[in-house]
Amino acid sequence: MRVIVLGAGVTGITTAYYLTKDGHEVTVIDRKPGAGLETSFANGGIVCRLTASPWASPNVPKMLLKYIFRDDAPYTFRLRPDFRQMMWAIQFLKNCRQSKFEQSKLTALELAEYSFLELEKLRSSEDIEYDQRAEGMIELYKDERSLELANKSAKTLPDKKYHPQMLSIQETIDIEPALTNKDSQYKGALFYSGEETGDAYKFTSLLAERTQQLGAKFCYGENVDRIIINNFHASGIATNKDQYAADAIVVSLGSFSSGLLRQCGIKLPIFPLKGYSITIPIEGQNTAPTHGVHDISRRVVFSRLGNRLRCAGTAELTGFDLSINKKRIDLLTEDAQRVFPDCTSSGSPEPWAGLRPMTPDCLPIIGESRIKNLYLNTGHGSTGWTWSCGSARAISDIINGNFPDINISGLDPERFN
């Protein structure tokens, strides 16, 4: 089949890879000059195999109220007079109910585990070096009560592989000496030994090269303007430069998926949730961390990517604006200096902002749309790096006419209607 994949982020590229391996004639189209240059470029780097969790959780409404009007808020909703954004925010808050959160969390974890196994398979067949580390992740807590509650909550999951190890602050430092800090405010941590970290951009761009070697065609620098539909069948796409015919089309345009699909009468509640990162050079610093680290109170993650330390966080519902708010970057820099004072003071941080393509239940949308031959693999929100291989394997199976190896009924495009 001739398959067109729209979008060359980590979601589109993994999709193109599996489809090409499955024998399809694949064309990838992206407006950027290469792969992985938007949201997949400088994310937190955590492959959350054991900690994938929807952001719509019972403590979020309280947090939004607590930080309202504060510049240092981990999450900020700046609602504009936009009906669709308003509806999205209401749906998001509805998904914060305990019962809904627990259900979405199980779906998130199942997809994360499946995705991790697919990533492992991909690594064993392709030679892709992306500063990967498999040393686990440390979740830091500033007070004992929150630590104990989080430990108790993690242990309610029936499968023991999701149960973390609870550590005192000294035990945490024994595992990760880079956390040694006489002014540390942390009381302890949860340790998830099965987590990994890695550079999503390196992975995406190298996998794109490999997919091209396998025979896929890449059209960079082309903006997708329209999906061509006849009698409820998608038959091709029009870009600012050309038209392309196809037997199947996969939409993986991140936060821009819903705009294009609206033209075809498909309403998807995907909104951009802006986040920031800084990348700090740590060459020659032997006090840099090797584990993934998550400061729960600040909602900030750290990952070691070769000779760099990535620090990422914050969520702003502010539309499609990608400008960099200096205050946010200063806060991330302060976070990095507070947690890792020894290795972050000399290098100058590289700032970045990206738009997480977020659905109200914080789960991706995977499946065929109401329009025949038009498939969706999008809306991966805060966990797209983690879920990329599993989502891509699943949509490729669907296009091949097979049932995916994972139950994706909770990810169906129709669930919001």
Ligand X SMILES: Cc1cc2nc3c(=O)[nH]c(=O)nc-3n(C[C@H](O)[C@H](O)[C@H](O)COP(=O)(O)OP(=O)(O)OC[C@H]3O[C@@H](n4cnc5c(N)ncnc54)[C@H](O)[C@@H]3O)c2cc1C
Which stretches of the chain bind ligand X, using CB under 6 A? 7-12, 29-32, 37-40, 43-46, 48, 200, 223-224, 252-254, 256, 260, 275-277, 301, 312, 354, 356-357, 378, 380-386
d(CA 53, CA 109): 7
| Least distance in angstroms from the C-beta of 198 to ligand X | 9
Are the beta carbons of 235 and 245 closer than 8 angstroms? yes
Nearer residue to ligand X within complex by CB, 248 or 260: 260
| Least distance in angstroms from the C-beta of 123 to ligand X | 16
Nearer residue to ligand X within complex by CB, 7 or 169: 7
Nearer residue to ligand X within complex by CB, 138 or 169: 138
Nearer residue to ligand X within complex by CB, 164 or 313: 313
Pairing of strands 233-239, 224-230: antiparallel
Nearer residue to ligand X within complex by CB, 152 or 226: 226
Q: Which three-class secondary structure string do you get for the chain?
A: CEEEEECCCHHHHHHHHHHHHCCCEEEEEECCCCCCCCCCCCCCCEECCCCCCCCCCCCHHHHHHHCCCCCCCCEEECCCCCHHHHHHHHHHHHCCCHHHHHHHHHHHHHHHHHHHHHHHHHHHHCCCCCCCECCCEEEEECCHHHHHHHHHHHCCCCCHHHCCEEEEHHHHHHHCHHHCCCCCCCCEEEEECCCEECCHHHHHHHHHHHHHHCCCEEEECCCEEEEEEECCEEEEEEECCCEEECCEEEECCHHHHHHHHHCCCCCCCCEEEEEEEEEEECCCCCCCCCCEEEECCCCEEEEEECCEEEEEEEEEECCCCCCCCHHHHHHHHHHHHHHCHHHHCCCCCEEEEEEEEECCCCCCEEEECCCECEEEEECCHHHHHHHHHHHHHHHHHHHCCCCCCCCCHHHCHHHHC
| Least distance in angstroms from the C-beta of 343 to ligand X | 20
Nearer residue to ligand X within complex by CB, 282 or 376: 376
| Least distance in angstroms from the C-beta of 182 to ligand X | 29
Nearer residue to ligand X within complex by CB, 122 or 169: 122
| Least distance in angstroms from the C-beta of 105 to ligand X | 15
| Least distance in angstroms from the C-beta of 26 to ligand X | 15
| Least distance in angstroms from the C-beta of 8 to ligand X | 5
Nearer residue to ligand X within complex by CB, 164 or 379: 379
| Least distance in angstroms from the C-beta of 253 to ligand X | 4
| Least distance in angstroms from the C-beta of 385 to ligand X | 3
Nearer residue to ligand X within complex by CB, 289 or 354: 354
